[in-house]
Amino acid sequence: MTTIAIQAGLEATRKRLKTRRAAQDPRSSMGWGDDQEEAWKLLLEVSRNGLVIWISASNELPIEQ
């Protein structure tokens, strides 16, 4: 039995989270705008929604998927 699990954009999301935290610190002068927040949320959703595929080993059985 083989399971293939796929996730996209995890590293980029983690890096962006660090930047976001630093920018939102009250002592920071970087600033974090609404457009950056929207981009961050999109990236988070990309990494959140993955795909898992279970590969069965049979060809004699009727496929009901």
Binding site for another protein (CB under 8 A): 1-14, 17, 34, 37, 43-44, 46-65
CB of 27 to another protein, least distance (A): 14
CB 55, CB 2: distance < 8 Å: yes
Nearer to another protein, 27 or 55 (CB): 55
CA–CA gap between residue 55 and residue 23 (Å, rounded): 44
CB of 25 to another protein, least distance (A): 14
CB atoms < 10 A from the CB of 43, how many? 19
Nearer to another protein, 10 or 30 (CB): 10
